[in-house]
A and B are shown apart, each in its own frame.
Chain A
Amino acid sequence: MTRLTLGPIAYHWSAERRRDFYARIADEAPVDEVYLGEVICSKRAPFQEADLPEIIDRLERAGKKVILSSLAEVMLKRERKATEDLAAMETPEIEINNAAGLFARGQRPHRIGPFMNAYNEATIAWMAGQSATHICLPAEMPAPAIAVAARAARDLGLGVEVQVFGRASLAVSARCYHARAHGRTKDNCQFVCEADPDGMPLRTRDDRPILRVNGIQTQSESYVDLLPETARLVADGVTHLRLMPQAADMVAVARVFRDRLDGKASADDADARLAGLVGQVGLSNGFYHGAAGYRRIAAATAV
């Protein structure tokens, strides 16, 4: 059965907001697996570490599998240390997002995160040979490549995951663009990113929404929405569907996807329910259809 996962929170949510969020996820959300941990900015990590054991415990008691995700960018001493420490853990499972993590983990089992650029069957086979058990494909992969990659991964006994909801990660940088917007540097950021729980919107100079800034990360303005494509993803061998936490009712979002997967909601009904949950934010599936990522390709015209 296809498993629904909740990706790591990309934003700098307050400790209180995180606790409340995961309490509700544990009690109400029909997700099977939850990824935790700071992936974007090592400066934020200390704010969550204190609560992490309790959140893990809470989620596991609710029957969710918990996976810890590693930093996407590893450059500074504290980032190298955090990656090494994570790679040394026996439980829970870990998802690696940087080659430094692969180096530290060696031949012990691990998952491959979406920042690892597992684009093709050759790379997936290499990773499987290094004891990867599960691959999350990059967000920009089009359907035909997903199908080939998923088949290869399944033949090797690996789980295959695709992001089906939430803003796509479009880029990471060494520079913090949140700090820059406020005339600060990364070292002196004063955590201004906390004020934007769904990212800081950028608009073009003719006032068209285009991107979101989240610290060192640049995200899509639109939420990726592959709800209409879930049946084909499953048919193509994708085993896990990832929802990225946004400032929306994520329990309700998870229910829509679960109902659609279980055949309890029609395609139209599910689409309408999801549209009602995202407010003014645009939905997109362009990457999946090999088109510009921001585009929304209607099912009728989809390839």
Chain B
Amino acid sequence: MSLSTVTPARMRPGEGAVARLACLALQPVLSRIVRRTAARHPSLFARLGPHQTTDFLIDPVELPFTLHLRPDPAALILRAVPRDAAPHAGATIRGRFLLLLELVDAEEDGDAAFFSRDLDVSGDTEAVVRLRNALDDMDGSLAEETAAMFGPPGRAILARLRRAYSSTTTGQEIA
């Protein structure tokens, strides 16, 4: 896969407003995910070392927003922001949403994704490596845990996402 496929699409008319709405709607969920993860997997922070205060952008290319993560146990941030309002990041990880989700869950091998250039890393490479190793040391599935927070409907949505992801080559349909 070429690098161009992981470059964010140019913004379409009206997308800015959609993005801001999507971010608003998503925020309570993100806050719950991050609090829950921090509580259940405290050892994650030790592996981050000095990068607990690094700003990460996790950028799902086919979605209208990007995720800002600051894994500081004292002031944890995970929020959705429109791309044009994203903060300056220490490190950016860009790729298709389900690939990013699978990386978080170690369903997919990060190195393999990078070698195939499905995944695009920029900024502080050590920060990304630490985040990857920290997440990789979590047992269980963050996606499953999150889906489970919403009961059977949540799990159904996740299953549908995965089917859509595996059946498509362009990734556009799942956006």
A–B contact with Cβ pairs below 8 Å: the answer is no
